[in-house]
Amino acid sequence: MNAEASSAPLPRLWPQGAISLIGMAGAGKSTLGRLLADRLGWAHVDTDRLIESFYGLPLQDLLDGLGLEAFLKAENTLVSMLNVRRAVISTGGSVVYGRQAMERLSLLGPVVHLDISLESFLKRVGDGGNRGLAIAPGRTREDLYHERQPLYVAAADFTVSTDAGDQHHSLERLYEWLAADKTEPKG
């Protein structure tokens, strides 16, 4: 943990709050979430792992067994019940479909969109097999990307690009935003 950086005041975070990371699969939410949590000296919560733990199944098996609609409902319910403090929350990409989940994340603290281009998404996710990618039958990964992007933008307090793949640069951009005066404009 970087003790010097974590002791500086972060106006955008209240001491007992949380920060949530949203974005497409492959955007780096889990990786950046762990790095940010370590830097802040906070816990890291990965909602995909939380869902797997709750149901005792890998995400893909759960999605296959429940079907898309029931899976999204389960995700919305579990995330909307989060009651964490001093935590960085890495969400599943489909969390943005859950109104109650997104309301809860916003109540806990800032919501940050980790943005990647369509090309990066396709390259990082591949065919999406065994990833637990919540996509409706007959829809393409391109369709999914274009459907979700405006939802992420609308829900986010800040957006940082993770296209370059340099997690430490993305971490610094995010940390600088957290440390900035709250009166600065969104984004």
27 annotated ligand binder: yes
Residue 1 maps to a domain:
no
Instruction: Look at residue 4 in the predicted model and tell me its pLDDT.
Output: 42
pLDDT at 128: 67
Beta strands in the chain (DSSP E): 18-22, 43-46, 87-90, 111-115, 158-161
Q: What is the pLDDT of residues 33-54, one digit of tens each?
A: 999 999 999 999 999 999 999 9
How many domains does the structure of the chain reveal? 1
Residue 77 is assigned to a ligand binding site:
no
Residue 186 lies in a domain: no
User: Would you say 183 is a known binding-site residue?
Assistant: no
Residue 141 lies in a domain: yes
Does 152 fall in a domain? yes
Asked if residue 185 is part of any domain, the answer here is: no
Q: Binding residue per annotation — 165? A: no
Is 92 annotated in some ligand binding site?
A: no
The CA dihedral of 103, 107, 108, 113, to the nearest 10 degrees, is: 60
Q: Quick one: pLDDT at residue 5?
A: 45
Residue 187 lies in a domain: no
**Would you say 175 and 36 are in contact if contact means Cβ atoms under 8 Å apart?**
yes
Residue at 92 is within a domain: yes
Q: Is 111 part of a structural domain of the chain?
A: yes
Domain residue limits at 43: 13-179
pLDDT recorded at residue 12? 66
CATH (domain of 106): 3.40.50.300
The verdict on whether residue 29 carries a ligand-binding annotation is yes
Model pTM above 0.75: yes
The pLDDT-based confidence of 108 (bands split at 50, 70, 90) is very high
